[in-house]
């Protein structure tokens, strides 16, 4: 996992923060599958993810329409339902407009 190489702002970020209930093997398989599907979605710009006691996954997108299309993706919807029911105790999703970016 590296820092995502994103274009000049503005673009969009989805910050997904979770407190996990039970991240079993089925979770990790699904997580890998969702990343590979997201990468093929129109407007996908990159993804960053880490987990200690909470998990933070940030995905980057060209615009809000691309985010909504990914949210409605059929396979992604099944994964979202499993996430709510099985894997996540709590989560928060924040949809953000990235206005400035700077790097070392």
In angstroms, give the least distance from the CB of 49 to its own copies.
Answer: 8
Closest CA to 58 of 32, 35, 81: 35
> Residue 12 is inside which H or E element, if any?
strand 11-20
Distance, in Å, from the CA atom of 37 to the CA atom of 80, rounded to the nearest integer, reads 14
Q: Is the dihedral of CA 30, 39, 3, 68 positive or negative?
A: negative
Segment near its own copies (CB under 8 A); pick from 4-12, 22-30, 32-40: 4-12
In angstroms, give the least distance from the CB of 55 to its own copies.
Answer: 6
Q: Could you say which of 8, 25, 53, 72 contacts its own copies (CB under 8 A)?
A: 53
Contact 86, 22 (CB under 8 A): yes
Token pair, residue 94, equals 């924040």
Q: Could you say which of 24, 29, 49, 75 contacts its own copies (CB under 8 A)?
A: 49
Instruction: Report if residue 3 touches its own copies, rule: CB under 8 A.
Output: yes
Question: Which residues bind to its own copies, rule: CB under 8 A?
Answer: 1-4, 6, 9, 13, 15, 17-19, 48-56, 58, 84, 88, 90-104
């Amino acid at each position: 996992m590296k820092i995502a190489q994103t274009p000049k702002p503005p673009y969009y970020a989805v910050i997904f923060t979770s407190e996990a209930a039970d991240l079993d093997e089925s979770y990790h398989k699904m997580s890998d599958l969702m990343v590979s599907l997201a990468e093929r979605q129109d407007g996908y710009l990159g993804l960053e993810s880490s987990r200690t006691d909470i998990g933070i996954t940030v995905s980057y997108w060209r615009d809000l329409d691309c985010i909504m299309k990914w949210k409605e993706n059929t396979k992604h919807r099944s994964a979202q339902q499993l996430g709510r029911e099985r894997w996540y105790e709590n989560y928060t999703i924040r949809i953000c407009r990235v206005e400035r970016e700077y790097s070392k």
